[in-house]
Chains A and B, each alone.
Chain A
Amino acid sequence: MIRGAAAVLLLLGAAPQETSDPKGMEFFEKRIRPLIADRCFTCHSAQAEKLKGGLLLDTREGVLKGGDQGPAIVPGNPEKSLLIKAVRWVDPDLQMPPKKRLDPEQVADLEAWVKMGAPDPRGGVAKPPPLKKPMGMSVEDGRKLWAYRLPVKSALPALRDAAWPSGDIDRFILAGLEAKGLKPAPAADRAVLARRLFYDLHGLPPSPEEVDAFVADASSDAVEKLVDRLLASPRFGERWGRHWLDVARFAESLTLRGFIMKDAWRYRDYVIASFNADVPFDRFVREQVAGDLMGDGTLEERRRRAVAVTFLVMGNTNLEEQDKKQLEMDVVDEQLETVCRGILAQTVTCARCHDHKFDPIPTRDYYALAGIFKNSRTLEHSNVSKWLEVPLPAEPEREAEAKKHDDRIAALQARIKAEKGKAPTLAETPAGKTKGALAVADVPGVVVDSAKAEKVGDWMQSTYSGVYIGDGYLHDKNEGKGEKSLTFHPELVAGRYEVRLAYSPGTSRSKEVPVTILSADGEKDVTVNEQENPPIEGRFVSLGQHRFENNQGYVIVSNEGTRGHVTADAMVFIPVEKLETAKSSAATAKATETAPVRELEAELKKLQESGAKRETVMAVREEKAIADLKIHHRGSVHTLGDPAPRGVLQVALHGEAPRMPAGQSGRKELADWLASRDNPLTARVFVNRAWHWLFGAGIVRTTDNFGTTGEKPSNPELLDHLAVRFVEDGWSVKKLVRTIVTSSVYRMASGVASEADPENRLLGRANRRRMDAEGIRDAMLVLSGRLKLEAGGPTFPASLSADYSYRHAGLERGVYVPVFRNALPELFEVFDFADTSVPTGRRESSTVAPQALYLMNNAFVLEQAGHAATRLLSESHKDDRARAARAYRLALGRLPTEGETALLLRHVSGAKDAKAAWGAVFHALIASVDFRYVN
Chain B
Amino acid sequence: MCDKDRLTRRQLLRGAACGFGSLAFAGLAGASEDPLAPKRPHFAPRAKRVIFLFMQGGVSHVDSYDHKPRLEKDDGKMMSFDDARTVANTGAKNSSQRIMKSPWTFARHGRSGHWGSSLFPEINRQMDDLTFIHSMHTEGVAHGPATLFLHCGSTNLIRPSMGSWLVYGLGTENANLPGFVSIAPSSGNGGARNYGNAFLPPVYQGTGLGRAGGPASEATIRNLKGPDGSEERFDLLRELNGEQLRVRPGDSEYEAVVNSYELAWRMQKNAPDVLDLSKESKATLDLYGIGRKPTDDYGRQCLLARRLCESGVRFVQVTYGDNSANPAWDQHSNLPKHGDHARAVDRPVAGLLMDLKQRGLLEDTVVWWGGEFGRTPYAEKNGTGRDHNPGGFTVWLAGGGLKPGFAHGETDEFGHKAVSDRVHMHDLHATILHQLGLDHERLTYTYAGRPFRLTDVHGQVVREILA
| B363-394 interface code vs A (CB 8 A; 1 in, 0 out) | 00000000000000001011111000001100
User: At the interface with chain A, which of B277-285, B325-333, B350-358, B397-405?
Assistant: B325-333
CB-CB under 8 A from A484, the residues of chain B are 382
B191 touches A821 (CB 8 A): yes
Asked if A760 is at the interface of the complex by the 8 Å CB criterion, the answer is: no
Known A-B contacts A454-B333, A846-B29; the reply to A903 vs B264 at CB < 8 A is no
A835 touches B264 (CB 8 A): no
A903 touches B240 (CB 8 A): yes
Known A-B contacts A487-B333, A804-B323, A924-B233; the reply to A256 vs B144 at CB < 8 A is yes
Asked if A167 is at the interface of the complex by the 8 Å CB criterion, the answer is: no
Residue of chain B at shortest CB distance from A706: B449
User: How long is the Cα–Cα vector from A768 to B254 in the complex, in angstroms?
Assistant: 11
Asked if B116 is at the interface of the complex by the 8 Å CB criterion, the answer is: no
Closest Cβ–Cβ distance, residue A934 to chain B (whole Å) = 12
Residue of chain B at shortest CB distance from A525: B381
Known A-B contacts A92-B418, A258-B187, A837-B193; the reply to A849 vs B237 at CB < 8 A is no
Looking at chain A, what size class is its interface with the partner chain?
35 or more
Asked if B26 is at the interface of the complex by the 8 Å CB criterion, the answer is: yes
User: At the interface with chain A, which of B39-47, B198-206, B429-437?
Assistant: B198-206
User: At the interface with chain B, which of A141-149, A152-160, A322-330?
Assistant: A322-330
Known A-B contacts A258-B187, A856-B264, A903-B239; the reply to A848 vs B203 at CB < 8 A is yes
B158 touches A316 (CB 8 A): yes
Closest Cβ–Cβ distance, residue B448 to chain A (whole Å) = 5
B191 touches A768 (CB 8 A): no
B142 touches A322 (CB 8 A): yes
Residue of chain B at shortest CB distance from A101: B420
Known A-B contacts A552-B324, A848-B28, A862-B227; the reply to A255 vs B145 at CB < 8 A is no
Asked if B143 is at the interface of the complex by the 8 Å CB criterion, the answer is: yes
Closest Cβ–Cβ distance, residue B93 to chain A (whole Å) = 9
Asked if B321 is at the interface of the complex by the 8 Å CB criterion, the answer is: no
A709 touches B333 (CB 8 A): no
| A307-329 interface code vs B (CB 8 A; 1 in, 0 out) | 00000000011111111101100
Known A-B contacts A257-B188, A705-B448; the reply to A454 vs B223 at CB < 8 A is no
User: How long is the Cα–Cα vector from A280 to B274 in the complex, in angstroms?
Assistant: 56
Known A-B contacts A255-B193, A847-B29, A853-B268; the reply to A549 vs B324 at CB < 8 A is yes
Most buried by B among A255, A353, A923, A925: A255
Asked if B98 is at the interface of the complex by the 8 Å CB criterion, the answer is: yes
B144 touches A920 (CB 8 A): no
Asked if A854 is at the interface of the complex by the 8 Å CB criterion, the answer is: yes
User: How long is the Cα–Cα vector from A89 to B417 in the complex, in angstroms?
Assistant: 12
Residue of chain A at shortest CB distance from B137: A92
Most buried by A among B28, B229, B323, B333: B333
Number of B interface residues, CB 8 Å? 98
CB-CB under 8 A from B223, the residues of chain A are 826, 850, 853-854, 856-858
B383 touches A487 (CB 8 A): yes
Closest Cβ–Cβ distance, residue A43 to chain B (whole Å) = 12
B226 touches A856 (CB 8 A): yes
A454 touches B449 (CB 8 A): no
A321 touches B264 (CB 8 A): no
Closest Cβ–Cβ distance, residue B37 to chain A (whole Å) = 14
Asked if A868 is at the interface of the complex by the 8 Å CB criterion, the answer is: no
User: At the interface with chain B, which of A78-86, A367-375, A553-561, A646-654?
Assistant: A553-561
User: How long is the Cα–Cα vector from A482 to B155 in the complex, in angstroms?
Assistant: 33
Residue of chain B at shortest CB distance from A347: B449
CB-CB under 8 A from B211, the residues of chain A are 805
Asked if B118 is at the interface of the complex by the 8 Å CB criterion, the answer is: no
CB-CB under 8 A from B76, the residues of chain A are 483
Asked if A660 is at the interface of the complex by the 8 Å CB criterion, the answer is: no
CB-CB under 8 A from A553, the residues of chain B are 326
User: At the interface with chain B, which of A440-448, A513-521, A721-729?
Assistant: A513-521
| A835-863 interface code vs B (CB 8 A; 1 in, 0 out) | 10110000011111111111011100010
B237 touches A928 (CB 8 A): yes
B88 touches A257 (CB 8 A): no
B450 touches A350 (CB 8 A): yes
User: How long is the Cα–Cα vector from A437 to B457 in the complex, in angstroms?
Assistant: 65
B244 touches A837 (CB 8 A): no
CB-CB under 8 A from B98, the residues of chain A are 456, 482-483
CB-CB under 8 A from A258, the residues of chain B are 187-188, 191
CB-CB under 8 A from B244, the residues of chain A are 928-930
B325 touches A257 (CB 8 A): yes
Across the interface, B382 reaches (CB within 8 A) one of A485, A710, A838, A850, namely A485
User: How long is the Cα–Cα vector from A330 to B334 in the complex, in angstroms?
Assistant: 35
A92 touches B156 (CB 8 A): no
CB-CB under 8 A from A357, the residues of chain B are 450
Asked if A365 is at the interface of the complex by the 8 Å CB criterion, the answer is: no
A923 touches B418 (CB 8 A): no
Interfacial residues of chain A within 47-75, with CB under 8 A of chain B in the complex: none
Asked if A897 is at the interface of the complex by the 8 Å CB criterion, the answer is: yes
CB-CB under 8 A from A317, the residues of chain B are 156
B187 touches A804 (CB 8 A): yes
B141 touches A322 (CB 8 A): yes
Asked if A120 is at the interface of the complex by the 8 Å CB criterion, the answer is: no
Residue of chain A at shortest CB distance from B251: A752
B192 touches A821 (CB 8 A): yes
B236 touches A924 (CB 8 A): yes
B263 touches A849 (CB 8 A): yes
Asked if B167 is at the interface of the complex by the 8 Å CB criterion, the answer is: no
User: How long is the Cα–Cα vector from A704 to B199 in the complex, in angstroms?
Assistant: 13
B324 touches A768 (CB 8 A): no
Residue of chain B at shortest CB distance from A350: B450
Asked if B225 is at the interface of the complex by the 8 Å CB criterion, the answer is: yes
Asked if A667 is at the interface of the complex by the 8 Å CB criterion, the answer is: no
Interfacial residues of chain A within 314-366, with CB under 8 A of chain B in the complex: 316-324, 326-327, 330, 333, 337, 341, 347, 349-350, 353, 357-359
CB-CB under 8 A from A318, the residues of chain B are 144-145, 148, 155-156, 190
Most buried by B among A95, A489, A554, A853: A853
CB-CB under 8 A from A846, the residues of chain B are 26-27, 29, 201-203
Across the interface, A847 reaches (CB within 8 A) one of B28, B144, B450, namely B28
Asked if B419 is at the interface of the complex by the 8 Å CB criterion, the answer is: yes
B383 touches A848 (CB 8 A): no
Across the interface, A826 reaches (CB within 8 A) one of B26, B189, B222, B234, namely B222
Known A-B contacts A92-B419, A485-B383, A710-B449; the reply to A320 vs B222 at CB < 8 A is no
CB-CB under 8 A from A358, the residues of chain B are 449-450
Across the interface, B224 reaches (CB within 8 A) one of A321, A853, A924, namely A853
| B65-101 interface code vs A (CB 8 A; 1 in, 0 out) | 0000000000010100000010011000000101000
A558 touches B381 (CB 8 A): yes
B264 touches A705 (CB 8 A): no
User: How long is the Cα–Cα vector from A770 to B392 in the complex, in angstroms?
Assistant: 50
- List 29 A-B residue pairs with CB atoms under 8 Å apart, sorted by A's residue number: A92-B419, A256-B144, A257-B189, A321-B140, A321-B145, A324-B89, A326-B156, A330-B157, A349-B448, A357-B450, A456-B383, A483-B382, A485-B382, A487-B334, A489-B334, A554-B333, A558-B382, A822-B187, A847-B27, A848-B28, A852-B263, A853-B221, A856-B223, A856-B234, A856-B264, A857-B223, A900-B240, A923-B237, A929-B257
Supply 18 further A-B pairs (C-beta < 8 A) apart from A326-B156, A847-B27, A850-B223. A255-B193, A341-B448, A359-B449, A483-B382, A550-B324, A553-B326, A705-B449, A770-B253, A847-B257, A848-B260, A856-B264, A856-B268, A857-B223, A924-B233, A924-B240, A928-B241, A928-B244, A930-B244
Q: What is the interface of chain A, defined by CB distance below 8 A to chain B?
A: 89, 92, 95, 98-99, 255-258, 316-324, 326-327, 330, 333, 337, 341, 347, 349-350, 353, 357-359, 383, 454, 456-457, 482-485, 487, 489, 516, 518, 520-522, 549-550, 552-554, 556, 558, 560, 704-705, 707-710, 768, 770, 804-805, 821-822, 826, 832, 835, 837-838, 844-854, 856-858, 862, 897, 899-900, 903, 907, 920-921, 923-925, 927-930, 932-933
- 9 smallest beta-carbon distances between A and B, as pairs: A852-B264, A848-B26, A322-B88, A347-B449, A320-B144, A853-B223, A709-B449, A322-B141, A320-B142
